[in-house]
Every structure is written in structure tokens, then in C-alpha cells.
Structure 1
Amino acid sequence: MNLITISLNQADFLASTLWERSDAKAVVILHPATAVVQEYYKGFAEYLHDMGFNVVTYDYRGTGRSKSGMLRNCNVSMSDWIEQDVSCVTTWARARFPELRLMAVGHSIGGHAILLSPATRLLHAAVLVASHAGVTSTIKQTMEKLRVWCLLRVLAPVLCRTFGYMPARRLGLGEDLPAPVMLQWGRWSAMPGYFYDDPDWDARRRAGEITLPLLVLGFDDDPWANSDAITCLMSPVKNSQIERREIRHADFGVPAVGHMGFFRIRCAEKIWPEVGKWLASQCQHTG
């Protein structure tokens, strides 16, 4: 395991970790969820490394070890993460390992990035874990819908205005976030088609142009990435070979998975192979 720094431009960088082996059969990039740092994915990265992959994890700008300066001065948005950060690490991995197939696993917004990043054309295959259109109206539970609505539409704008960033850690919501990230997320959540309805972004066209094989995982106890929300996200993806799996956690003997639990060690023995074996199978495909 090596800590590395990937330069995005003269001022910005992505703090990354590389698990490398001499006999690797492919490279897998792990794109994190919002407000989640790369250390969260360490166990899963080690699992993939043991399976024969080189693995790259990293932090988006403004989070984890990719923070630079005062967070209130960070003007990076969610679309910047997708456009720039994801493209940067993907291009770096392609240049570092030009002879190996390049694949990705995206968690939540990390899955959005796989659908929308211009660098996705460099991938051979990808997995979306708990990725969904974050539209508040798709949340089934009334109290959870109200909680998320209040957070994104009321509390977040006030806190971002007050602090100059989103103090998510104080609320138990993960990493503190740049204000533009949180505010853009809130705007998208109010649109019926999420970012597909953003007039400043051609997200629907981008998703429609994806052609690589995709494994899409959802979990029956995830209140956000439920079946309808996943369908909303995947509806423009017309040209990919998509394999959707709805994981019923009880069937795997796991007490809970939810939105965050797939990457916890309790899922290692029974659920991680759903992804590990699929990625390994993609190394056998020609093309």
C-alpha cells in the first residue's frame, strides 16, 4: 500500500492510495460517496487486491487528505468532482498501468461519476453500489423523506451561509463539505429527474452514451437508493449491458446493509464476492 498524490492542476491535488501487485490482472478505482473518505474503503480495497487487482482509492477535493487550505474557501462543486476529480484519477490510472484493463467501483455519487465522467470511456467495466437519483420524492418512509428535505432545502443553505461550508461532521453526517457541493446537491434533489434536469449540464446525454458493462447493486434496506430511485438514475442508460441485483440482506445472513453498509467488514464474506467475482469475470471478456 502506497500513499500517493495525484496533481489535478498547479493548485489542487488528490490524495490517493495505491495497492499494487506485480501479477495484477486489472486495475480497479474506488470512487467514494459524498462525505466519505477513502479510509472507509480500505477493507474492500484489500479484498480486491488479494483477488489479484491493483486498486486505487482517493479523496475528492475538500474532503479527507485532499483538503487544501480553509474549507470555506473551497469552491469545488459536485459536478466538479465528477468532471475533474474523477477524470483526473482515471486518466492517471490509465497512464500508470497502460497494459491493464481499467475498471471502477462507484459508491453513491461515485456511481454517478461512472455514468457522467468524460473519462469513463477509458474503463472496461464498472460497478455501481447504492447509486441512485437523489430525488427527495423517491424516499418511501415519510419521516426520512421529511428529514432529508429539511436537511437539503432548509438546514444546509443556512449552515453554508453561516459557516462558509457544510459542517456535516457536527451533525453526524460524515465529512464536512464545501458549500458548493452541498448547495448543488440540494438543488438537484428538488428536480424530478435529479441532475438529468439540470439545464446547465448535459447529464442525460452523457449517461446515454455509456456502453461499458455495468453491475448495479441495490439493497432492500437502503432508504435512499431504493428500487425506484435506482431506476430513475439508470433510465437514460440505454446502450450498456446492465446487470441489476437487488440484495436482500437477510438472504445473505447480514443484519443490515442500508446505504453505507456494503463496504463494512460484516459484508466481506458473503456479499463482497458479488462484486469481486463479477469484476474477475470481466477480465475474461474480449474487447
Structure 2
Amino acid sequence: MQQQFLESGTSQLALRVYEPAEPARASVVIGGAMGVRQDYYAPFAEWLSGQGFRVTTFDYRGSGESLPGTPDGSLRGFQADLFDWASDYGAVVASAKAALPQAPLYLLGHSLGAQLPGFLKNQHQVDGLVSIAAGSGYWRDNAPQLKRMVLYFWYLLVPLATRLCGYFPGRRLRKVGDLPAGVMLQWRKWCLSPQYSVGAEGEGARLAYAQARFPVLALSITDDELMTWRGTQNLINLYSGAPRSFERITPDELGVRRVGHFGFFRDQFSQNLWPRTVQILEQMRQTGPAAGVPGTTA
């Protein structure tokens, strides 16, 4: 693994690049979930590089190791929103593509990491997206256990804590993690809109998603404690101009009690879910960007 840094706008992003021992058959960029550091994906990224892929992980600006350049790394007053995070994502994609210009490049998007590619300015550099435990964040699409507290979260806790601290102090509150104020407040706007990001941001956002032409395969987890099947469908169908397909994953078929929203990347699934990812990427590589992969079509 190589630690690298990349300039994105006025921020410096922390990247980790996992090079395969043999010439890479493709490049993979892992887009992380909201509030999840790239450390979390390290075991999976290391394993995937062992399967012949060049893998890049990163922290969005103002999170993980991509903290502001202040002595204490404080987020108070730090300017960043979700469009900035999409720009970060795009900068990482461009860097990965430049390193392997002749190889296909795929995104593995966990939750938020499958939402932001709709806003990439360089979608033409992407050959496919594997969406993992992702969906619309609209609160009525949330899983029942999350929906019970979500109105308190969005209407009281988030506005009050963000205003008082100048950022969202998620670590102290044990919710999501520390996030720049602009990111949290824009995410709030998305989650309160029935059409999520497209509803909150308008026609330009709808057109941005519709312009994507890379195939999208969504892996939906049946015991996801945050995301519903309807939410997954609503998100993926925003990519209206792309070939789209879905797969449902159940704990029973894996012989485990639980997978959940975060389980996919745990090494207990290195014998089943992780190899399935390689199969999907290989199918995308063999069929090309227009055909997609087998699955349930939207």
C-alpha cells in the first residue's frame, strides 16, 4: 500500500493505492460511505489488489486523513459541501485513470459512494459502478428502525449542534462522525426531499445523473438497518440513461445471522461476497461499458 496526497480544489486529499503484484487488469476506486474513513476499506482493498486490481481509497475533504490544514485539524468554519466531495471523487478518478490510462476503471460505491457519481464531471472515465448498500437517503425510504428517530435528528439535533459548533460533532454524539457544516446541512436538505438529491438540487442534478452511461449494478442487503429496497431502487433509477441491474443479498444464503449496512467489507465475507465482487468486475470488463451485467433490470 502506498500513501499518496492529491490536490482537489483548495484541499489536499489523503489516498491509499494498493498495487497488484502482476500488471493490473483494471483500476478500482472505492467511494466511501458518509462518515466512514478509508481505513475501514483497507482489508477489502488489500484483498482486491491480490486479485489483480489496482485499488484506490480516499477520504473526502474534511474527513479521515483529509483534514483541514490547521494546527488542530478543526472543522469549525471549514467550507465544504457534497458538491465539493463529488469533486474530490472526480479528482481521485482522474488520478487513477492517469495511472492506468488503457485499463478500464470501476467504482465501488458504498452508500454515499454510489450517490455522488451522478455528479462527477468526468463520468466518461468510468466504465462501471458497483453500488453496495446504497440508496436514496429520503427519510421515508429509510429502514423502520432508523425512521423512528430521523425527524428528531434532522429537525432538532443536526441544526442545533451544527450551529453551535460550526460543524457537525458526530463523534461526540456517536452519530455518523464529525462532518463539515456544509456537507451536513446539504445532506439534510437531500434527505428531506422525496426525490433526494435530484429533488433538492433541481433539474441540473437530474440531468447530471441522466448523462451517466456506465453500467450500474446495485447490491442490496436485505437486513440493511439503514436502507430499504425501495430506497435502493429510487437511487439507482436516477441513473436513467445507464444500464441498471440489481441483486438482493440475504444473510441466510451466506450462512450468517447478519450482514447489515456495513458488513460487506468485513473479512468474514472474504470467501463469498468479496469473490462475487471480482465476478461482477470481470463481467463488466468482458462485456464492455454498454452491456452491464446480469441481474434484475429496473
TM-score of the pair, normalised by structure 2 = 0.90
Instruction: Find 1:282's aligned residue among 275, 280, 284.
Output: 284
Distance 1:258 1:149 in 2: 22
Is the 8 Å Cα contact of residues 103 and 126 (structure 1) preserved in structure 2? yes
Report runs of 4+ in structure 1 exceeding 6 Å deviation.
Answer: none
Instruction: Find 1:71's aligned residue among 75, 99, 107.
Output: 75
Give the Å deviation of 1:134: 0.3
Residue-pair matches, total:
284
Q: Which runs of 5+ in 1 are unaligned?
A: none
Give the Å deviation of 1:92: 1.1
Is the 8 Å Cα contact of residues 64 and 175 (structure 1) preserved in structure 2? no
Secondary structure (helix, strand or coil) at the match of 1:110 reads helix
State the partner residue of 1:18. Answer: 17
Distance 1:253 1:140 in 2: 23
For 2:261, give the aligned amino acid: H
Give the Å deviation of 1:57: 0.3
Secondary structure (helix, strand or coil) at the match of 1:166 reads strand
In structure 2, relative to structure 1, the CA distance for the partners of 1:185 and 1:95 (3 Å cut) is same
Give the Å deviation of 1:276: 1.7
Distance 1:187 1:101 in 2: 35
Give the Å deviation of 1:117: 1.3
State the partner residue of 1:130. Answer: 133
Deviations 1:129-171 (A, max 9, x none): 1111101112342x52131221122101100011111111112
Give the Å deviation of 1:186: 1.0
Give the Å deviation of 1:174: 4.2
Secondary structure (helix, strand or coil) at the match of 1:127 reads strand
Give the Å deviation of 1:210: 1.4
Deviations 1:59-105 (A, max 9, x none): 000001100122112110112211x1011111111112112211110
Secondary structure (helix, strand or coil) at the match of 2:150 reads helix
Give the Å deviation of 1:243: 2.0
Instruction: Find 1:148's aligned residue among 147, 150, 159.
Output: 150
Instruction: Find 1:139's aligned residue among 135, 142, 164.
Output: 142
In structure 2, relative to structure 1, the CA distance for the partners of 1:177 and 1:85 (3 Å cut) is same
In structure 2, relative to structure 1, the CA distance for the partners of 1:140 and 1:34 (3 Å cut) is closer
For 2:140, give the aligned amino acid: S
Is the 8 Å Cα contact of residues 165 and 177 (structure 1) preserved in structure 2? yes
Distance 2:283 2:44 in 1: 18
In structure 2, relative to structure 1, the CA distance for the partners of 1:148 and 1:266 (3 Å cut) is farther
For 2:35, give the aligned amino acid: A
In terms of mean alpha carbon deviation, does 186-195 or 110-119 score higher? 110-119
Distance 1:266 1:171 in 2: 29
In structure 2, relative to structure 1, the CA distance for the partners of 1:122 and 1:159 (3 Å cut) is same
State the partner residue of 1:108. Answer: 111
In structure 2, relative to structure 1, the CA distance for the partners of 1:171 and 1:135 (3 Å cut) is same
Q: Which runs of 5+ in 2 are unaligned?
A: 290-298
Secondary structure (helix, strand or coil) at the match of 2:101 reads coil
Deviations 1:93-121 (A, max 9, x none): 11121122111101111101223312222
For 1:225, give the aligned amino acid: M
Distance 1:165 1:243 in 2: 37
Distance 1:170 1:131 in 2: 25
Is the 8 Å Cα contact of residues 195 and 201 (structure 1) preserved in structure 2? no
Distance 2:244 2:276 in 1: 15
For 1:203, give the aligned amino acid: A
State the partner residue of 2:239. Answer: 237
State the partner residue of 1:45. Answer: 45
Give the Å deviation of 1:280: 2.0
Distance 2:28 2:130 in 1: 10
In structure 2, relative to structure 1, the CA distance for the partners of 1:283 and 1:78 (3 Å cut) is same
Whether 2:94 is the aligned partner of 1:91: answer: yes
TM-score of the pair, normalised by structure 1 = 0.94
In structure 2, relative to structure 1, the CA distance for the partners of 1:144 and 1:8 (3 Å cut) is closer
State the partner residue of 1:205. Answer: 207
Distance 1:227 1:200 in 2: 24
Give the % identical residues: 31
